[in-house]
Every structure is written in C-alpha cells, then in structure tokens.
Amino acid sequence: MLLLKIFDSLADQINHFSIGRSAFILRNIMQLVVWAKKNAEILGLMVNEPHVAPEELAAVRAQTLVIAGTKDMIRDDHTRLIVGSIPEAKLVILPGDHFIAAKEPETFNRAVLDFLQN
C-alpha cells in the first residue's frame, strides 16, 4: 500500500508539469507509474508468493512436470529445488522465458504431451 501512495503522490506532482523535455520525461514516468499500479498485485505475488517449503513438496504423490524457460525469471536453483523436492518429478527446460506457454504453445504443448505419454 505504501508503494501505491508513493505512486499516487508522484502522479499528482507529474500532472502539474507540462513544458518541453521535462514534460516528455515526466509523461514516460507517469506511464510507468500507471503500469506499476495496474500490476502491483501480480508483482507482489511474484515476489512474495507462494511460500511452499520443500518438505511440503515432498508430500506430492502425483506425477509432476515442472517446465521452465532458459531465460526464466525464476532462478534455476529454485526451479531445481522444487523438482528435487517432489518425488520423481521431471524437469523440462525450454528455450524462452517464464511465459513460454503463451509465447511458444506448440513447444510447450509438445513437452506436456511427451510427459503425459511416458
């Protein structure tokens, strides 16, 4: 909430500027503020959630596939900790980032299908 208050205060101050280059720079800052406010919840979740202990993951008994991207925002050591904590989990690392399923659905779907068929 403090972050949103700071953004609101900054936005109010920026709205009072409207001259030359300063206005251009401040408009760009304002766009960033608007984006951050819209995405504050998801950004907070990415930073703070979920908190699942490796010991809890050890209780998973379902076949599990963990897919990560070569340029994923989740650290490789964290991904490998997750996989190592789930009994017999399989890890597939695909070329791409965290949003590989949306950006490369055929590649993602092939990895899932291969997992399900084996």
Domain ranges, residue 37: 2-46
How many Å apart are CA 85 and CA 65, to the nearest integer? 12
Same domain, yes or no: 27 and 72: no
The whole-angstrom separation of Cα 11 and Cα 54 is: 42
**Cα distance between residue 9 and residue 2, in whole Å:** 11
Q: 80-90 burial, b for 16+ CB within 10 Å, e for fewer?
A: eebbebbeebe
Task: Provide the token pair at 48.
Answer: 């703070």
Backbone angles phi, psi at 92, to 5 degrees: -125, 125
Q: Are residues 38 and 87 in the same domain?
A: no
Do 85 and 99 have their domain in common?
yes
Q: Are residues 58 and 92 in the same domain?
A: yes
For the chain, the domain total comes to: 2
The whole-angstrom separation of Cα 60 and Cα 4 is: 38
Q: What percent of the chain has pLDDT over 90?
A: 46
Same domain, 95 and 58: yes
Pair (58, 85) in one structural domain = yes
Same domain membership, residue 111 and residue 66: yes
The answer to pTM > 0.85 is: no
pLDDT digits (tens, 9 = 90+) for 16-73: 555 556 666 777 778 878 877 777 777 776 666 667 888 999 999 999 999 999 998 8
